[in-house]
Structure 1
Amino acid sequence: MPDLLSVLTSLAWPLAIALAWLAGEFGQRWTGLPRISFYGLVGFALGSAQIGVLPAADLGPVALLANIAFGLVLFELGNRINLRWLVNNPWIGVAGLVESSLTFVLVYLVAIAFGAAQITALLMAALSMATSPATVVRVINEQKSSGQMTERVLHLSAQNCVLAVFAFNAIIGIWLFRTQDAVSEAVWQSLVMLAASIVAGAVFGLLVPALLRAIGNAQQDTTVAFALAVILLVSMCDVGGLSPVVAALAFGLTVRSRRVTFTQTQRNFGALGEVLIVLLFVYAASTLDWRLVTAGGVMAVVVVLVRLLAKTAGVAAFSHLSGVTWRKGALTGLGLAPLAVFVILMLEHARYAGLKVVDDLHAMAAVAMLLEVFGPIIIQRALIWAHEAPESHHAA
């Protein structure tokens, strides 16, 4: 007979996922708030540094499943990106560049003002540029929202992720080289990594639809084929030192260009995706330590507010040029608030790569926790205020 402790330990993750799912269902029914906010709260409470039900984060199978879940979301996001629209309306892309650059500068200045080391401030600024696609896609699907703001938030979150990955890797490179030629060398390496990740995703995007056509399955349910391909792509990127974020986005984008699109029933990758999304948000929040969250609390609140201001102002400034009202432009910027899952997974990857500098990012743990809970609520409210969520009367 196995002892009770070992049985409970082996059941920790299944029980946590089931508990988070129940919290999400009842929480959404009682409050109208997004389910993923409740997944995050449960994950954080059960984390090894809090109640201690879940084991400390490591490179085990749960971490791999979380990365695969993130890859599936990014593939779906890429599959919804319309490059032709961005070419025809370049002001959307310009607004994204401005808001992410403004975010970088303001968060860097805040971090320096709070006494952070330069490298810490730079990494915080780079991570703050991003918008978490896991939260954006999940809330948009849950709300069944559609319209100008919805599409802009999707496109800008994809752009923000690519910019953040590039900036984060370039800054890490500069910190590692620490020589006269550090900047050019690090930027070049980051660009090469970005390009290689895009190529890897594009190759998958060409091969998988071709394979589906060869076996006569291109017009049928392709969920399993794409899910398996994302699993393989994410795993290869992890091994090869490429960015699974950028590769999965490129994969989805290329598949769209090959005229293979998701049907409505395949959103979130069906039941498989639903379960993995719960696991992703529980895992991400469980890696946070309440001591780090409280240590970086005040600075985190300022960073969250400054980041919201930068993104809202940056997008709103180009509202009329890009063809929408000031109000819808400001709400689009507000919809870019989610950040948590992206930041947590990026930091976990950097930590496992042996980069000790990420251990100093206490405030980002607090930022991640704040936006793990409030990020989904902010984008949900923005979609409702923009009148793009047909089920808003349930959530109001």
Structure 2
Amino acid sequence: MADFSRIVTAMGWPLAIILAWLAGELLHRWTRLPRISMYGLVGFLMAQVMPDSFASGASSTVTLLANLAFGLILFEFGYRINLHWLRINPWIAVSGLAESAATFGVVYLISHLTQMPPLTSLLLASLAMSTSPAGVLRVINETDSAGQVTERVLHLVAINCVLALFVFKVVVGFWVFQTSGSLPQAVSHSLIELGGAALLGGLLGWLVPALLRQLGALARDGTLAFAMGVMLLVLLAHALDVSPVLATLTFGLAARHSRVMLSRTERNFGAIGELLAVLLFVFAASALEWERVLAGAALGAVLVLARFLVKAGMVMLFARAGGITWRKGLLTGVALAPMSVFVTLLLEQTRYVGIVLVDELAALAAMTLLLEVLGPVLTQRALIWARETPEEEEA
């Protein structure tokens, strides 16, 4: 019996990945809804049924693979960001700053009114600013969407994620200072950490294309080289205690501006990238506990609605100034719904400094689960309603 129990425990992750993939394929075939919504739901349910199988520490192999999967997505995401476009149309950046700031303010106010401690309210507000690049990019690639709304969503996600990461690290720095009384320790886990991550990603984003040019292997070996670069960067980021999120995002951004072209067939880094993506979305939901989700359900639902309305409303407000219709502005804001993967991995990374913030944020657990399932659906619907996806193939 003990051997059987160990076998079942060991089979938890492989079984969850297989079931999530099958469920995602069936859901997509029957309803055309995003596969990743089912990945997260299966991961959450499996973790409740087999909790021992899904217990993973910050240094576990599964956590490392999830961070690698997120790094690959962030590299591809950063590669699609065009800084020149932001210079041509600064209203996109303005709308990103405005919706992020408004989201932060509204979520903080609601949290504060519910008697939540100030630092906890600040952490919740900083995380609510973000949109998950993993969720958005996977939906965009799955629907093969292209157009004004698609491109604006990508750039707005990049803006609010960088802002959310910056504010989150600053708040965590104050948290560390408050608990440890060490100001150098607090600073080392905020601004210095972010600067080091950006420097590391930018350096690799220049070095890898330069090496490929020297070898004459840009077209043949580009995808493999960048995948290995992401793996190296994630490991270095963890070893040096800097943010792998900002490092891999900067890596992709620097690679694009080094004039390296990736072909259309290399989206998602092939079959291995697809497999790691399933693991990533299962991992993000498996970190949630039913008791905590239930405890924060009421406040979480209110915060999800407030976040959704603020983001959609603020982006729509700046739509005309940015050169699009109010309708497209509204749809762009709706597409910013996903949040879960970014939040889960960011919270996991705080464990390295001995802070377990998940226990403090029951409402965040409810928000994460809700947006893990509904967020990708809203993004997909927004892109379809914007008429930026190809017509459905006839059965």
TM-score bracket, shorter-length normalisation: over 0.9
User: Residues 83-232 of structure 1: matches in 2 within 5 Å?
Assistant: 83-178=83-178, 190-232=190-232
Residue number in structure 2 paired with 1:373: 373
User: Residues 1-396 of structure 1: matches in 2 within 5 Å?
Assistant: 3-47=3-47, 49-52=48-51, 54-58=53-57, 59-178=59-178, 190-391=190-391
The amino acid that maps onto 2:241 is G
Matched-pair contact (CA < 8 Å) for 1:74–1:252 = yes
CA displacement, residues 18-48 of structure 1 (integer Å, 9 cap, x when unaligned): 111000000111111100000001100011x
1:115/1:62 Cα in 2 relative to 1: closer, same or farther (>3 Å)? same
Q: Which moved more, 1:6-15 or 1:373-382?
A: 6-15
Matched-pair contact (CA < 8 Å) for 1:71–1:230 = yes
Q: Which moved more, 1:348-357 or 1:94-103?
A: 348-357
Matched-pair contact (CA < 8 Å) for 1:100–1:160 = yes
- Report the Cα offset of residue 176 of structure 1: 2.2
Matched-pair contact (CA < 8 Å) for 2:20–2:43 = yes
The amino acid that maps onto 1:101 is A
The amino acid that maps onto 1:365 is A
- Report the Cα offset of residue 51 of structure 1: 4.1
Matched-pair contact (CA < 8 Å) for 2:72–2:227 = yes
CA displacement, residues 240-285 of structure 1 (integer Å, 9 cap, x when unaligned): 1211111111100111011112211100001111000000001111
- Report the Cα offset of residue 14 of structure 1: 1.4
Matched-pair contact (CA < 8 Å) for 2:21–2:278 = yes
The amino acid that maps onto 1:74 is L
Q: Which moved more, 1:310-319 or 1:211-220?
A: 211-220
- Distance across 1 between alignment mates of 2:98 and 2:393: 34
- Distance across 1 between alignment mates of 2:212 and 2:173: 39
Task: Please state whether the residue corresponding to 1:146 is helix, strand or coil.
Answer: coil
Identity of matched residues, %: 53
- Distance across 1 between alignment mates of 2:103 and 2:61: 35
Matched-pair contact (CA < 8 Å) for 2:316–2:333 = yes
CA displacement, residues 361-384 of structure 1 (integer Å, 9 cap, x when unaligned): 111011000000000001001001
CA displacement, residues 104-162 of structure 1 (integer Å, 9 cap, x when unaligned): 00000111122211111100000000000000000000000000000011111111111
1:124/1:169 Cα in 2 relative to 1: closer, same or farther (>3 Å)? same
The amino acid that maps onto 2:154 is L
CA displacement, residues 314-358 of structure 1 (integer Å, 9 cap, x when unaligned): 111111111100010111111111000011111111134211444
- Distance across 2 between alignment mates of 1:87 and 1:173: 32
How many pairs were matched up?
Answer: 393
- Distance across 1 between alignment mates of 2:203 and 2:245: 15
- Report the Cα offset of residue 392 of structure 1: 5.2
- Distance across 1 between alignment mates of 2:2 and 2:50: 23
Task: Please state whether the residue corresponding to 1:121 is helix, strand or coil.
Answer: helix
Provide structure 2 residue ranges, at least 5 long, that are not aligned to the other structure.
none
1:384/1:78 Cα in 2 relative to 1: closer, same or farther (>3 Å)? same
TM-score for the superposition, normalised by structure 2: 0.95
Q: Which moved more, 1:383-392 or 1:68-77?
A: 383-392
Task: Please state whether the residue corresponding to 1:222 is helix, strand or coil.
Answer: helix
Matched-pair contact (CA < 8 Å) for 1:144–1:391 = no
Q: Which moved more, 1:208-217 or 1:370-379?
A: 208-217
Matched-pair contact (CA < 8 Å) for 2:312–2:333 = yes
Q: Which moved more, 1:62-71 or 1:5-14?
A: 5-14
- Report the Cα offset of residue 391 of structure 1: 3.9
Matched-pair contact (CA < 8 Å) for 2:347–2:357 = no
Q: Which moved more, 1:92-101 or 1:23-32?
A: 23-32
- Distance across 2 between alignment mates of 1:21 and 1:365: 23
- Distance across 2 between alignment mates of 1:11 and 1:151: 40
Matched-pair contact (CA < 8 Å) for 1:131–1:160 = yes
- Report the Cα offset of residue 2 of structure 1: 9.5
The amino acid that maps onto 1:62 is V
- Distance across 1 between alignment mates of 2:50 and 2:5: 15
The amino acid that maps onto 2:307 is R
Q: Which moved more, 1:51-60 or 1:338-347?
A: 51-60
Q: Which moved more, 1:208-217 or 1:327-336?
A: 208-217
- Report the Cα offset of residue 386 of structure 1: 0.6
Matched-pair contact (CA < 8 Å) for 2:315–2:329 = yes
Matched-pair contact (CA < 8 Å) for 1:169–1:190 = yes
Task: Please state whether the residue corresponding to 2:20 is helix, strand or coil.
Answer: helix
- Report the Cα offset of residue 4 of structure 1: 2.5
- Distance across 2 between alignment mates of 1:394 and 1:121: 49
- Report the Cα offset of residue 183 of structure 1: 10
Alignment RMSD: 2.2
- Distance across 2 between alignment mates of 1:311 and 1:184: 35
- Distance across 1 between alignment mates of 2:187 and 2:328: 35
